Structure 1
């Protein structure tokens, strides 16, 4: 990923926070059949390995898991993003030398990909993922709420994924390359937007 110095995010906690907050990732692997990509929720185990380990699962019918990866896999986690119109820049009024851009946060995690079918490991991952995403609900659903034989049948239809993170790249492009007046204009413009994601980006732009 191309990362100009002004946009590089090397803070370990910031990187992990973006991974935790991303509700859906994209797993990409290079294979003899070409590039394969699957959107899926991934769980970060921060206590396993230097950079943590990612866990998830794919449908057994998905051919992705049957194609051996050539080298490391790539998990892409997108954070907030927003279009930035040059009309918000003070520089537009001063020189007119401005163009549109996009502000965004993204994490690329690289590592060896392991697929597995062990039922006990699958149940653990499904349970952890469920607890993660149900945790904030008033009446959270649990895997144990469903009949055990039904869950076992469902597990036979998925394949687990484990990816120890060997390398992390973080990019936080939030108008850091613009002057203070231009950044203030971007914040004002995004805060006036009807899109919640735009307002989320506004809060991340440095003053």
Structure 2
């Protein structure tokens, strides 16, 4: 990921927050048949290894899970993002020398990929992934709520993913390269957006 120094995020807590908040990631592998990518809900077990381990699962019919990866896999986790109009910049009124851009937060996780179909391991992954997204609900649904034989049948239709993270790249592009006047107006403009992601991005623009 191309990351100029001004946008590099090396704060481990910030990176972990982005990983936890991402609802959907993109899982990418290079193979002898070309690059393969699948949008997936993934979770990170932070207790394993130096940087954690990515877990998830693919449909067994998905060829990505049946094709050996060449080199490391890549999981892309996105945070808030927003279109930035030049109309917000104080510089527009001063010189007119401005263009549109896009603000965003992203984390790239790299590591060797393991695919597996052991039912016990698959059940652990499915249970953990479900709990991650159900725990915030008032009445969480649990995998154990469904009949055990039904769950076992469902597990036969998926392939597990395990990717120990060997390298993390964090990027937070939130107008840090603009003047304080420009940043203040960007934050104010985003705060009035009807899009939730853009209002989230407003809070990440440094104006202090």
Q: TM-score, normalization: structure 1?
A: 0.99
For 1:78-112, what per-residue CA distance to the aligned partner results, in whole angstroms no more than 9, with x for missing partners?
10000000000000000111000000000000000
- Whether 1:95 aligns to 2:95 is yes
Partner SS for 2:131: helix
- 1:119 matched residue in structure 2: 119
Q: Distance in 2 between matches of 1:192 and 1:162?
A: 41
- 1:175 matched residue in structure 2: 175
After superposing on structure 2, the runs of 4+ consecutive aligned residues of structure 1 that deviate more than 4 Å are none
- 2:76 matched residue in structure 1: 76
Q: Distance in 2 between matches of 1:41 and 1:54?
A: 10
For 1:156-186, what per-residue CA distance to the aligned partner results, in whole angstroms no more than 9, with x for missing partners?
0001000000000010000000000000110
Unpaired stretches in structure 1, ≥5 consecutive residues: none
Q: Distance in 2 between matches of 1:55 and 1:41?
A: 9
- 1:26 matched residue in structure 2: 26
Q: Distance in 1 between matches of 2:191 and 2:120?
A: 47
Residue 16 of structure 1: how far off its partner (Å) = 1.1
Residue 43 of structure 1: how far off its partner (Å) = 1.0
Q: Distance in 2 between matches of 1:129 and 1:194?
A: 30
- 1:203 matched residue in structure 2: 203
Residue 192 of structure 1: how far off its partner (Å) = 1.3
Structure 1 vs Structure 2 CA RMSD: 0.5
- Map 1:7-46 onto structure 2 (within 5 A): 7-46=7-46
- 1:52 matched residue in structure 2: 52
Unpaired stretches in structure 2, ≥5 consecutive residues: none
